[in-house]
Structure 1
Amino acid sequence: MRRELVTWSIVLGLIIAAFVTTVLIVNSTLFSSSGFVRSYLGALARHDMPSALQIADIHLAEEHGASSDDGSGATPIDTTGAGSMLLAGSHDLLRPSALSTIENIALAERTVNANGTETVTFVFDLDGNTSRSTFTVERDGSRFGVFADWKFVTPPLSIVRLTVANAQGFTANGSEFVTPTQDTPSPYVVLTPSSFDISHTSTFLTAEPIRVSATDPGKTVRARLDVVANDAMVAQVQREVNDYLDECATQVVLLPTGCPFGQPMANRIVTTPEWSMATYPEVTLVPGSATGSWLMPATDGAAHLTVDVRSIFDGSVSTFDEGVDFTASYLVTFMPEDELLITAQYPN
């Protein structure tokens, strides 16, 4: 009986020792500060948005709920479980289809701070570029009384203040979005780390793509996407301007109605004026003063006029056969079904 008791005591001791060892190992790996952050990064890498938000203890307010006090209409995010910071902005970029590609996640550094928090730095490939993010976490009780729980001191969120100039639509990581107002910075809440390839392509507009990366929790990243008229728009305006000027040249008067060129004369004309185009103004387009408008600035061109005239002084007849310089400016506005309205701008 005594021998059996000793045997069972040894077995029980080994079980307890194995359990303690297991707890220590698990707490130093899976349930460590780095394991907690790695779990969050792993959810991002899987594009598992719900799990990433749950791990970070971030709760999205309803999009049509309370808005921020700055009048921007941005929706606040409840981060009370993850820290005291409150971020406000659009949730549009918080969708799996807009998440980045995160690969090769590796722990770079772990530091225990004097106040009991721990700072953890990971390196990874973010959309193919080597990046790093540093997170500060702290203990948040325990699980089953033995496994450590953690929480972020600063929520893994950043703000991207994006200005889309001369348009409202943009594409981020292949998904399409619309800013509330063009030419004005709009705040977007994003998970950290994130990277976005932002661009614009439409029937008449284009933009040189930009890459926006947010790798520092709690920080604001500012970016601007400059949208310009594309080659198709310039070519169409050029064709329509040329056609309009050709139509002006068919008028058999010295001062064609509604046209940028004309030639007043003191002498009497003897033959019918004949106009032709010598040089068409080269179309360039810049943003207009009104939203959604584009302006062709005053640009030089030249017509040619041939007409016989009689001098009012001596009655002699001569031929006026010369170029007539002019400048032209046009306002271009978008119409439904991808049509352009081109309106001549006359000097004041």
Structure 2
Amino acid sequence: MRRGRVSAMAIIGWAGLAMLVVGAFLAALGGLNATIYGASSFVERYLEAIADDDIAGAASTPGVALDEAELEALGLPADLSTAMLRSGVVAAGPQDVRIVSDIANPDGSHSVTASYRLDDEIAESTFRVHPIEPLYGVLHRWEFDESPIAVIHVTAAHNPLFTVGELTLDTRATKTGEELEAFSHTAPYLAIAPASYTFEYDSTLLEAAPVSVLAGAAERVPVTVDAQPTAAFVERVQLQVDEYLAACAEQQVLQPAGCPFGIEVDDRVTSTPQWSILSTPQVTLTPSDTSFDMPPTEGVAHISVEAQDLFDGRFYTLEEDRPFTLALAASINPDGSIAIQLK
């Protein structure tokens, strides 16, 4: 009898211990699901991935990627560029992240509100997330109800290229036909959000001042990268203008062909006309709808020629300054050379 009582007591003891272990496990599991695997932590990890420039990790977060049907539902093209979804592009991700609230909704989803600093601004976003198939059948997993990814509509004014972060992109990438000939281009790009981006451009001939934009979660953000001629561009056009006018001055005629200056002489010309350029128009360039234009700009040519007065037969030397104006349109050829069209 004593041995039976001992066995019963042992079984009860082991059962109690097992219950304690199971209870401890369930308590630990509940703690994990409420913290590390909770809705708030899911949102925090997404924001921290952006801050760490782990764009691949952020983009692979459940509910971030948009499939073709979702793009169509949002009125976006199926070939919408994902080129900006990479490291080295984001200027700054969310810092000082703090979960403001985590509200459990009746349908099992959570509305998580996070506060963070983006550049010098304090922002706040609410993300609605819902549970998906749990990890190992017990650990909670979550997915965004609405993708937080942003769409940035980039207008590359006067130049199809722009730079964002370490990446240079061409807004003509998905365009064909006459669209390729446009002077300015607009193209949409998917971008991880919330984050700040800096757009600019810098080359020998064109430069665009940096423009910073804050892309909030699921926002559509416009930005214009305004390319303007560099000093080197203006200098090259000036050189072509100088060479053009010098060639005009070499024509020993009263009306140099294809040139902006000339003179009519009613008397008989008795020597070869000699032209010189006293003042060359100084090139300034501003963008128009199709090119970089120089408005009508004044220059001065000088002619020296011998003539005989038809009335009294007197010989004389004609020395005269001839003001003229010159206007032109300049554009950059695909090979990087500059094309000039006189107006």
The question of a shared fold, defined as TM-score above 0.5 by the shorter chain, is answered with yes
Note if 1:175 corresponds to 2:173.
Answer: no
Quote the offset at 1:18 in angstroms: 2.0
SS at structure 1 position matched to 2:282? coil
The corresponding residue for 1:102 is 93
Taking the TM superposition and a 5 Å limit, the aligned residue runs for 1:231-310 are 231-287=231-287, 290=290, 293-310=291-308
Contact map agreement 1:33 1:137 (CA 8 A) in 2: yes
More off after superposition, 306-315 vs 189-198:
306-315
Question: Kindly tell me: are residues 340 and 144 of structure 1, through their superposed partners in 2, closer, same or farther at Cα, counting changes over 3 Å?
Answer: closer
Once the two structures are superposed, residues 115-168 of structure 1 have per-residue CA deviations (whole angstroms, 9 ceiling, x without a partner) of 554332334454686554432222335444543322211112111111111111
Note if 1:190 corresponds to 2:191.
Answer: yes
The corresponding residue for 2:140 is 148
Q: Output the CA distance in 2 between the equivalents of 1:115 and 1:284.
A: 66
Match of 1:11 among 2, 17, 37: 17
Quote the offset at 1:269 in angstroms: 3.0
Taking the TM superposition and a 5 Å limit, the aligned residue runs for 1:326-345 are 326-335=324-333, 337-345=335-343
Q: Output the CA distance in 1 between the equivalents of 2:74 and 2:340.
A: 50
TM-score of the aligned structures, taking structure 1 as reference length: 0.81
Contact map agreement 2:39 2:129 (CA 8 A) in 1: yes
Q: Output the CA distance in 2 between the equivalents of 1:187 and 1:132.
A: 25
SS at structure 1 position matched to 2:264? coil
Contact map agreement 1:110 1:118 (CA 8 A) in 2: no
Question: Kindly tell me: are residues 157 and 86 of structure 1, through their superposed partners in 2, closer, same or farther at Cα, counting changes over 3 Å?
Answer: farther
SS at structure 2 position matched to 1:245? helix
Q: Structure 1: which 5+ residue stretches go unaligned?
A: 62-75
Contact map agreement 1:195 1:211 (CA 8 A) in 2: yes
Q: Output the CA distance in 1 between the equivalents of 2:88 and 2:285.
A: 34
Larger radius of gyration: 2
Match of 2:311 among 310, 313, 319: 313
Quote the offset at 1:99 in angstroms: 4.0
Structure with the larger RCO, 1 or 2 (CA within 8 Å, 6+ apart): 2
Quote the offset at 1:343 in angstroms: 3.7
- Percent identity between the two aligned chains: 30
Q: Output the CA distance in 2 between the equivalents of 1:226 and 1:19.
A: 60
Q: 2:34 is aligned with what amino acid?
A: S
Q: Output the CA distance in 2 between the equivalents of 1:24 and 1:42.
A: 24
Q: Output the CA distance in 2 between the equivalents of 1:112 and 1:176.
A: 41
Contact map agreement 1:40 1:56 (CA 8 A) in 2: no
Question: Kindly tell me: are residues 234 and 207 of structure 1, through their superposed partners in 2, closer, same or farther at Cα, counting changes over 3 Å?
Answer: same
Q: Output the CA distance in 1 between the equivalents of 2:274 and 2:169.
A: 53
Taking the TM superposition and a 5 Å limit, the aligned residue runs for 1:52-201 are 52-59=58-65, 76=68, 87-88=76-77, 89-102=80-93, 104-112=95-103, 115-116=106-107, 117-126=109-118, 131-140=123-132, 142-180=134-172, 183-201=184-202
Contact map agreement 2:33 2:140 (CA 8 A) in 1: yes
Match of 1:31 among 26, 37, 43: 37
Quote the offset at 1:100 in angstroms: 4.6
Question: Kindly tell me: are residues 332 and 54 of structure 1, through their superposed partners in 2, closer, same or farther at Cα, counting changes over 3 Å?
Answer: closer
Q: 1:122 is aligned with what amino acid?
A: A
Q: Output the CA distance in 1 between the equivalents of 2:48 and 2:301.
A: 68
Quote the offset at 1:179 in angstroms: 0.7
SS at structure 2 position matched to 1:235? helix
The corresponding residue for 1:202 is 203
SS at structure 2 position matched to 1:136? strand
Q: Output the CA distance in 2 between the equivalents of 1:79 and 1:343.
A: 43
The corresponding residue for 1:230 is 230
Once the two structures are superposed, residues 71-117 of structure 1 have per-residue CA deviations (whole angstroms, 9 ceiling, x without a partner) of xxxxx37589xxx8675421121223434543644224114165554
Q: Output the CA distance in 2 between the equivalents of 1:5 and 1:115.
A: 43
Quote the offset at 1:178 in angstroms: 0.8
Contact map agreement 2:94 2:194 (CA 8 A) in 1: no
The corresponding residue for 1:66 is none
The corresponding residue for 2:3 is none
Quote the offset at 1:326 in angstroms: 0.7
Contact map agreement 2:271 2:307 (CA 8 A) in 1: yes
Q: 2:93 is aligned with what amino acid?
A: I
Contact map agreement 2:92 2:118 (CA 8 A) in 1: yes
CA RMSD of aligned residues (A): 3.0
SS at structure 2 position matched to 1:96? coil
Quote the offset at 1:201 in angstroms: 2.0
Q: Output the CA distance in 2 between the equivalents of 1:296 and 1:245.
A: 16
Quote the offset at 1:249 in angstroms: 1.8
Q: 2:209 is aligned with what amino acid?
A: E
Contact map agreement 2:269 2:306 (CA 8 A) in 1: yes
Q: Output the CA distance in 2 between the equivalents of 1:289 and 1:79.
A: 32
SS at structure 2 position matched to 1:251? coil
